[in-house]
Amino acid sequence: MTAPASARDTAFDRLAFARSVLTAEADSLRVVAGRLGDSFVRLVDRLAGCQGRVAVTGVGKSADVGQKIVGTFNSTGTRAYLLDATRAVHGDLGMVHPDDIIVMLSHSGESEELVRLLGPLRRLGVTLTALTGNPVGTVSRAAEVAVVYGPIAEACPLSLAPSTSTTVMLALGDAVAFTLSELRQFTAEDFARYHPAGSLGRKLATVDQYMRHGAELRIAAASDLLQTAFAHARRPGRRSGALMLVHPDGTMAGLFTDSDLARLLERREYAAFDRPIAEVMIHGPITIRETARMIEALDLMRARKISELPVIDADGKPIGLLDITDLIGLEPEAIDEPDGHGPMLRLVPSSATVDNGIGEDRA
């Protein structure tokens, strides 16, 4: 049976309390941002000059934060790994190289496991740095560079559970990682190199990685009769909904899609089958280069509402094709939230598109 609601249950404003937690943590971030000084610059400079890797270590929730910081470092051009403070003294110190730099995470600066690790790390000759809230803690005093964010109040109503402190530590990790990436002039292409999988990786990939090519393309001469063009362009493998037409020199002349064919049949324009396909093709279709990023291609296909996007080389010759059926699930759709707070993004199948040029929705 469900227990009856207490007086506190009915009077407690859950939404107001949740907002107060978020506000408290946001306010602390603003305070810490104002406290940043020369130590932050010195930490970034040390890490930028690191000849080995950056080892991030912490205990408890700080270790969890450290795992995320390591991921952000690695994805933005700073080689890093997580050093488990407990496992380290039981053999994992073997992964540490003298050229590495240690970043210790400790709000109190007195975490027992971390303090116990200081001696062995010194004997390995590594550089010790820290992100901590305690300027006189053991960790802070042992570090060559310590970014001290100072005293902050935990958002936990009991002031016990790490909350604001872990938020601050996480945000500082982002600040360090992104400052390093700016120093290194880290580019979107670099980011894509480290993110080859998933929706994000596909959007940052280049068109040539996802286009249809070779035997998967249907290409015919623009001078061919409509009835023979499809026969000349028949190819094995995946079927494409678009026929790319070329000039005698091989450059792109136009595009003819399945929807174009369907419209001719619907209008009973049978005489068009005995005329050159150039008379009914889409002239000057939208195209893209193979070196463009997928996110650019997706934006173009969404904005122009097209199902097929020919890919051309520097000479204007077709070398590939992006077909919407291969890209379902990759296109973000902006929809308005019902409370009027603006657009949010979700991934949806890109079905509401038309063929390259002017046409009706493709089924």
Is pLDDT at 189 greater than 60 in this prediction? yes
On the CB side of 281, CA atoms within 13 Å amount to: 30
Between 357 and 26, whose confidence is greater? 26
Is pLDDT at 177 greater than 60 in this prediction? yes
* Alpha helices, DSSP H, located in the chain: 7-11, 14-35, 38-48, 61-75, 85-88, 112-124, 138-142, 164-183, 188-193, 198-204, 226-232, 258-266, 294-304
C-alpha to C-alpha distance for 325 and 308, rounded to whole angstroms: 9
Whether residue 234 lies inside any domain: the answer is: yes
pLDDT tier at 62, thresholds 50, 70, 90:
very high
Mean pLDDT of 44-72: 96
C-alpha to C-alpha distance for 147 and 309, rounded to whole angstroms: 51
Is pLDDT at 227 greater than 90 in this prediction? no
Mean pLDDT of 315-344: 62
Residues 138 and 215 placed together within one structural domain of the fold: no
Residues 178 and 213 placed together within one structural domain of the fold: no
Is pLDDT at 340 greater than 70 in this prediction? no
Residues 94 and 174 placed together within one structural domain of the fold: yes
Mean pLDDT of 79-89: 94
Whether residue 355 lies inside any domain: the answer is: no
pTM: 0.67
CATH number at residue 257: 3.10.580.10
Mark which of 186, 215, 241 sits at the end of a domain: 186
Between 226 and 180, whose confidence is greater? 180
Is pLDDT at 160 greater than 90 in this prediction? no
Residues 45 and 170 placed together within one structural domain of the fold: yes
Mean pLDDT of 221-250: 78
Mean pLDDT of 180-191: 85
* Domain count for the chain: 2
Is pLDDT at 346 greater than 50 in this prediction? no
pLDDT of residue 43: 98
Between 98 and 340, whose confidence is greater? 98
**What residues pair up with 361 in beta bridges, in sequence order?**
354
Instruction: Estimate the crossing angle of helix 14-35 against helix 164-183, to 10 degrees.
Output: 50
Residues 179 and 34 placed together within one structural domain of the fold: yes
* Structural domain of 180: 15-186
Mean pLDDT of 166-171: 96
Arithmetic mean of pLDDT over the chain: 84
pLDDT of residue 167: 96
Residues 313 and 216 placed together within one structural domain of the fold: yes
pLDDT tier at 362, thresholds 50, 70, 90:
very low
Residues 33 and 172 placed together within one structural domain of the fold: yes
Mean pLDDT of 139-152: 96
Contact 237, 215 (CB under 8 A): yes
Residues 160 and 224 placed together within one structural domain of the fold: no
pLDDT of residue 352: 38
Least confident of 233-237, 327-331, 334-338: 334-338
Between 218 and 44, whose confidence is greater? 44
Residues 90 and 148 placed together within one structural domain of the fold: yes
Is pLDDT at 355 greater than 60 in this prediction? no
pLDDT of residue 353: 42
pLDDT tier at 280, thresholds 50, 70, 90:
confident
